A and B are shown apart, each in its own frame.
Chain A
Amino acid sequence: MTHLPMTSSPTALDAGEADQSVKAVNRRAFLMQTAAITAAAAAGAAAFPAAASASSWSGKAPKFGSDAYVKPRPEAIADPTELTVAEAAWMIKNGKLKPVDLVEAYLARITAYDSVYQAFNTVLGAEALAAAKAVARKKPTSPLHGIPLAIKDNYWTKGVRTTANSYLFQDFVPPYDATAVARLKSAGAIVIGKTQMGPLATTRATTPDGRITTVNAWTPNNASTDPGGSSTGTATSVASRMAASGTGTQTGGSITAPSNAQNLTGLKPTMGRVSLAGIIPLSYTRDHPGPLARDAKDAAIMLTAMAGEDSADPRTQGLPPLPDLVAAATPSFSKGRCRTRKKIRVGVLPGYASNTTRQAFLSTLDGIDNISLVDVPLPDQWDLLTGNDFNNVRLPERSEPFMPYLRSDLRGFGVSVTGWLQGALLGANEFITGQRAKLLLLERVLDQVFAKCDVVVQTSPVPFDILGLPEIGFPIGFSAAGVPIGTILGGAPYEEDTLLSVVGAYQAVTDWHWKRPADPAVPAATARALKTTDDRGRLSADDVLDQMQ
């Protein structure tokens, strides 16, 4: 924790001004501290203290079938960071790869490249190596055994600073792990670091005062390319092979958008599938924890580990059981033709097939056995009920739990403060009207869309974020400039397995998800500074309002 030296106490200031002065010094220290952590991460793992690994969650570890272990592609064996989770799991289970070697390979890439990417705000090098040695002494019982993961910095991690990239949490060290983190650890996963994110999960990753930090792994020299927000750091770390997979949260597209932007497969589950206990909230009816992964099977493995009932979060209780997601993501082949395990109707909304990439995607889907395309309408009043005004119904959910901070430290919200003030202004009448409208919208989606199809293409993640319905983002091509293009499918409540079936089959007949970005050139000055000194631009408060989740 940073303290203001007593000798600098400004006696000429009144109490309020002195308080602002203290906060200003602490905030400068936070930015410097964050930079120092990045620098130390690049300098080597030994710079990081080990942290305790106990958690408050003590449920049963998930069970996985043989589909979760995949013999690696020959080209992936030479570099362990190229392995998917399922491939690395096969290697570890068969004694061909040690968790320590896998962790070291990832740490080497972090050391080499994160000065450019700036995907992490904390790297747990020493702890990850210690955890890898510990799991190596146990028999693998899960495909996540010994797998290094990147954890978004709004997930509590016991003994490890958790900032949500905000001044408000700059010194916060949680007493226990978020349930989702505890579940992943119980499955044998290793937390390799905490990732950069938009301040309080509002936008792409920036410092709390709006300065852009993290770049899209596909355009490391062009910070203006959208890396997707706010799970930016997780996306960049997984895309650049600095972590095998990772976690994000989605309130307004922050799993599917960075996945689309960086050639990943991101799965936002139905509200309640994954516990929100121990995750710093943005909007409590809209925050969805989920994985960002390299393909559908890895996303299935991650969500299987993360999902389940939690006594600390009633939203997780009384839900349908989790189906076998890994099996769902594993298509079958008959006479050389790929097929999903059940018949699935893919709904196509008006206007979706507006470009050749989407047309090619739909054509490929149509060629997979058991998948059929069907035109579906936009539900009545779709634009109104999913538009900006009804989307803004979420805002009181972010102001209410932060009232103590709003009363005492408005500047602590940095560039993001206006959204919190908007939430405090919205009246209870309008909030209730918004909740009624959510049910009206859901009924129309179920009656007018899902009566005709099983999954439906999306042109924006927001409508299904409003409703708490599952979505999956995945790659379908590249732009002429070499930037990934993705798309989103949405599902009915608790139909994550159907989404994974479609994407698993699509990825069995395409290779977009196998493509990786080239390693960035690291200028000598950047390497010496251990962190780029480039000015990558800055978001203003107005920019944040336009872009916030």
Chain B
Amino acid sequence: MAVTPPTDAELNTMIRARLASLGIDLDQLPAGTTADPVTGSPGRDSVLASLRSFVRSSVTNLASFQMPAPAGSDPAHAAALSQQPAPMLYPSISTEWRR
């Protein structure tokens, strides 16, 4: 069943709640869409709009990416995906100990 995409209001609530759970209060930024004249920091409404766009694009697209099934496994079986290669923070460095 397709998931209904979140509305702007739902995303605003999610974004604020996620940040608040980390201890980040968006209200530190100026209200509205006007940047802080001293620091250039954007207004919180501008930031929220940008963050909504980020969630709808990068977060969603990364979450939907499916790694290919490992060679020799049946891609029709989701279980095969549990045998994906381990993630690598430093792929170039890993070549030295994966020779």
Contact = CB atoms under 8 A, between A and B. Distances in A.
**Is B one of A's binding partners?**
yes
B29 A417 contact: yes
B67 A417 contact: no
B29 to A, nearest CB: 6
B35 interface: yes
B97 to A, nearest CB: 7
Contact of A415 (B19, B40, B88, B95): B40
Interface string B22-44: 11111011000001101111100
Contacts of B58: 388-389, 392, 422, 426, 430
B45 to A, nearest CB: 12
A426 B93 contact: no
A430 B62 contact: yes
B88 A542 contact: no
A468 B91 contact: yes
A403 B11 CA distance: 22
A398 to B, nearest CB: 14
Given A436-B87, A442-B91, A541-B42, A421 B62 contact: no
A315 B40 contact: no
A442 B92 contact: yes
A406 to B, nearest CB: 5
Contacts of B25: 407, 410
Contacts of A538: 40
Given A425-B55, A545-B50, A439 B40 contact: no
A493 B92 contact: yes
B85 A436 contact: yes
Contacts of B59: 425-427, 430
A418 B63 contact: no
B54 A422 contact: yes
A412 B90 contact: no
Contacts of B19: 421, 424-425
Contact of B93 (A319, A410, A437): A319
A204 B19 CA distance: 28
Q: Give the interface SS of chain A, mostly helix, strand, loop or mixed.
A: helix
Size category of the binding interface on chain A:
35 or more
Contact of A209 (B23, B24, B26, B39): B39
A368 to B, nearest CB: 27
A424 B22 contact: yes
Contacts of B29: 410-411, 417
Contact of A418 (B47, B84, B85): B47
Given A421-B51, A433-B67, A439-B85, A406 B39 contact: no
B28 to A, nearest CB: 4
B12 interface: no
A410 B40 contact: no
21 contacts: A208-B39, A271-B93, A388-B58, A406-B23, A410-B26, A411-B38, A414-B40, A417-B42, A422-B58, A424-B18, A424-B22, A424-B24, A429-B63, A430-B59, A430-B62, A433-B62, A440-B85, A468-B91, A468-B92, A468-B93, A493-B92
Interface of B: 15, 18-19, 22-26, 28-29, 35-36, 38-42, 46-47, 50-51, 54-55, 57-59, 61-63, 65, 67-68, 84-97
Interface of A: 20, 24, 27-28, 167, 208-210, 270-272, 285, 315, 318-320, 384, 388-390, 392-393, 403, 406-407, 409-415, 417-418, 421-422, 424-427, 429-430, 432-442, 446, 467-469, 493-494, 538, 540-542, 545
